[in-house]
A and B are shown apart, each in its own frame.
Chain A
Amino acid sequence: MSEALDLSLREQAAAIAAGEVDAAELLEATLARIETRNPALNAVVETFPERSREMLAAAPAGPLHGVPVVIKDEWPLPWRAQRFGAAEMLAEATPGESGPYRALRDAGAVIVGVGNMHELGASSTGNLSVYGPAHNPWDTERCPGGSSSGPAAAVAARLVAGSVGADGIGSIRYPAAYCGLTGLKPTFGRAAMAGHHMADVSTTIVSGALCADAADCRLLDSALFGEELEAGAASGLRIGVVAGEVSEDVDPAVREACEGAIEDLRRETGGEVRTIEIPELAVATLATILIANSESLGGITPERLNNLDPELSPLARGLLKFRALLPAIATVKSHQIRTVARRALAELFADVDVLACPTVPAVAPPLEAPVVELPSGTMTADEANVRGGALANLTGIPAISVPVGSADGLPVALQLQAAWGRDELLLDAAEALGRANGRRWVEAVPPPARGAEPLEA
């Protein structure tokens, strides 16, 4: 059964459908693997074997029939309320059928566990959580990325072949990059979102898949979208390389790998490359942060802030109080900047099909000190990562992170962004990139997934 555990998501689905793999045996083997590998990773914070068995017993003959998946601690399940990685989440959380849960259930998938996440979804690193941090399978002393830290680490270590995360400011793409996975941030509104505690107020958060490669993301995201994401050729791809610090204030090894990948993509698709200026990018990044942080203020009162759960981290406590000080004028102007950025992108996408830049400017930093060294100096990973991650959430466009190399034994990733509704094109482009490099990076697996001895917890 260990061979079946190491199949891709689509191969598991096909093998079960063909009767070559018994779904019940696969479920038990997956639970056993989680028990063996997870203690060193803390990727999965809760399993519920009986619920999973019940889910399998009732699973329809959908495209993911019998396939085990992990879901982020951001989505309620009928038997479990989300905790948002925190001792207190300042919003009501009750068990229920979230949109992603329904989508997975209706596709026949089996939820085998809940994935860890950064506390309150508030960082690109994943180094803080009420459960303790998840660890990067490539180096367990390194950050797995956040906020979808557990879903990413679980797939990278091949506990499961696919997981569901959420992306409010890069929270699928950062962990995909740090863990060497493919992660799609869908166009706003296309993927299942019901039941999220911010569903009625957030204009940045989406659900999305994290998998080893784009073909698996296509299958899992098709379930989340409720429609089949058709494959295409991405031929003649017009690639716009984003100029400025997002591409240039980058670790030299990351820059080299990403530039090589862009050339690979151009050659594979018979396309063309040009440099693109987005003058609004820096202010758009700030606008995203201000909008995303202000949208959660409705549930906050001074009394609640004065009575926060003592188990909440000091960082989260301070930042929640800081949010109350954000000036209204800055938030109003942020919405104006959103309009400016959306119009600028609409014009850009008349001339290019995808925008390309490194997903993150440096490889996964240490859990103990998540800072990165860039040509401009040392800065926090969050400060550096948000430069490339925010624009898609501000404007609603889709974005994908694709592994394209390695530096110091850790994954390097390229981000591609496309116009609204062109999620399929991003998946096509990611598959073209995989073909161009012989699938070297999407098939790379970290030590725990190569059959090495289980790591010490």
Chain B
Amino acid sequence: MEAANSPDEFIKASLASFGIEADETDLAVIGAAHQLFWPPILELVALDTSQVLAEPNPDLSQAPPR
């Protein structure tokens, strides 16, 4: 399978795969959001967090257990 080679194609293909319709205005907004968020999302995804066990159901009213 060929990877989408531009954000526009990725966005259109992803929306289409969910059956989500988007007009030109939607695509412009989504494109701007993608441009803003995608680079830091890629950085986040690239982090090696394999040693971090997320707190299951953290009690956010208190400090995490030691």
Query: Residues of A at under 8 Å CB distance from B?
Result: 187-190, 203, 282-283, 286-287, 289-290, 302, 305-306, 314-315, 317-319, 321-322, 324-327, 329-330, 332-340, 342-343, 345-346, 349, 383, 395-396, 419-421
* B55 CB contact (under 8 Å) in A305, A330, A339, A421: A339
The answer to whether A342 and B55 have CB atoms under 8 Å apart is yes
Report the separation of the CA atoms of residues A288 and B11 in the bound assembly, to the nearest whole angstrom: 23
Min CB distance B19 to A, Å, is 4
The answer to whether B63 and A346 have CB atoms under 8 Å apart is yes
- How many of B's residues come within 8 Å of A, CB to CB? 37
Which A residues touch B19, using CB under 8 A? Answer: 302, 306
Residue from the set A318, A330, A419 with the largest chain B CB neighbour count within 10 Å: A318
Which A residues touch B47, using CB under 8 A? Answer: 283, 333
Report the separation of the CA atoms of residues A349 and B54 in the bound assembly, to the nearest whole angstrom: 20
The answer to whether B61 and A340 have CB atoms under 8 Å apart is no
Sampled A-B contacts (5; CB under 8 Å)? A188-B61, A314-B26, A327-B41, A339-B54, A340-B52
A318-B29 CB under 8 A given contacts A302-B19, A306-B20: yes
Interface assignment of B1: CB less than 8 Å from any CB of chain A: no
The answer to whether A336 and B41 have CB atoms under 8 Å apart is no
* A189 CB contact (under 8 Å) in B15, B54, B61: B61
Which A residues touch B11, using CB under 8 A? Answer: 325
Report the separation of the CA atoms of residues A383 and B34 in the bound assembly, to the nearest whole angstrom: 14
Which B residues touch A324, using CB under 8 A? Answer: 15, 18, 20
> Taking chain A's interface residues, is the majority helix, strand, or loop, or is none over half, making it mixed?
helix
The answer to whether B44 and A421 have CB atoms under 8 Å apart is no
Report the separation of the CA atoms of residues A325 and B54 in the bound assembly, to the nearest whole angstrom: 23
The answer to whether A339 and B20 have CB atoms under 8 Å apart is no
Which B residues touch A338, using CB under 8 A? Answer: 54-55, 58
Report the separation of the CA atoms of residues A333 and B52 in the bound assembly, to the nearest whole angstrom: 9
B 6-31 binary contact with A (CB < 8 Å = 1; else 0): 00000100110011111001111110
A343-B64 CB under 8 A given contacts A322-B34, A327-B41, A333-B45: yes
Which A residues touch B33, using CB under 8 A? Answer: 318-319, 322
Interface assignment of B3: CB less than 8 Å from any CB of chain A: no
The answer to whether B44 and A283 have CB atoms under 8 Å apart is yes
Report the separation of the CA atoms of residues A187 and B59 in the bound assembly, to the nearest whole angstrom: 11
* A383 CB contact (under 8 Å) in B27, B36, B45, B66: B36
Report the separation of the CA atoms of residues A189 and B62 in the bound assembly, to the nearest whole angstrom: 9
* A334 CB contact (under 8 Å) in B22, B44, B62: B44
* A318 CB contact (under 8 Å) in B26, B43, B64: B26
Min CB distance B21 to A, Å, is 5
Report the separation of the CA atoms of residues A333 and B49 in the bound assembly, to the nearest whole angstrom: 7
Report the separation of the CA atoms of residues A314 and B66 in the bound assembly, to the nearest whole angstrom: 46
Min CB distance A334 to B, Å, is 7
Residue from the set B30, B60, B61 with the largest chain A CB neighbour count within 10 Å: B60
